[in-house]
Amino acid sequence: MTTTTLLHLDSSTGAGDSVSRALTARFAAAWRARHGTAGRHRHRDLAADPVPVVRAAYESLGRRAGARGALPPDAVAALVEGAGEEREWALTRPLVEELRAADTLLLGAPMYNFTVSAGLKAWIDRVTFPGVLHDPGTGEALLRDTRVVVVATRGGGYGPGTPREHCDFQVPYLRAHFGNLGVAAENLHVVVAELTRAADDPALAGLRPLAARSLADAGARLDALAAAG
């Protein structure tokens, strides 16, 4: 039996009222139901168990590794110099290997101050280590066939044509980042739920029907993506 792996990351600092967590949980439940015992679901909570931000030793090791091109994790380990680099690579390697092993990456990415959360950014900085996400033999991106499902939530409206469209540094950033890592365009799925604060923000009260529609559409799209693979 062929196994498939879902790496499920949540980054919202909210608990029971988190829309992004509810939506990623919905996808994960449908994915598990579809794959049964052939599916491996790995969940990481970047808010409850934050990834440490990178330090100077990460950069020094990264520069040395990057000068050698694409490298497997074992080859990076052989380049480590000193306790600082050893610590940084010990923090980084498990996250890199976890990502490399995933067939599907499910990412809960709420908007904080027009962009992604600090917890998610710390994870991105860790896993984007020079060379380790490319094949040493061919140079091809190891994530080219990885399916990435981004659940992007935001309290207001930032879609095309809205007054705050220019303030969206969340979705464009994530699209650019995963595209740069080599994820194929057809494998990158961004599901957006907007106006999530309409229920509790009086200034958005008149937009509650739009908020409900956006949430319902996001849920339906996630159901379809989970059913597809």
Tokens of 120: 């998610």
Whether residue 1 is predicted with pLDDT greater than 90 in this model: the reply is: no
Band of residue 10 on the pLDDT scale cut at 50, 70, 90? very high
Q: Shortest CA distance to 147 belongs to which of 192, 182, 103, 95?
A: 103
pLDDT, residue 16, reads 75
Name the pTM for this structure: 0.95
Q: Report pLDDT digits (tens) over 106-124.
A: 999 999 999 999 999 999 9
Q: Determine the average pLDDT of the residues in 199-205.
A: 90
pLDDT, residue 77, reads 96
Fold of 4-228: Rossmann fold (3.40.50)
Q: Where does 36-184 have alpha helices with state H?
A: 56-66, 73-77, 82-101, 118-127, 171-180
Tokens of 35: 């794959």
Provide CB contacts within 8 A for 204, sequence distance 6+: 155, 156, 195, 197, 198, 211
pLDDT, residue 14, reads 83
In whole numbers, what is the pLDDT of the chain averaged over residues? 96
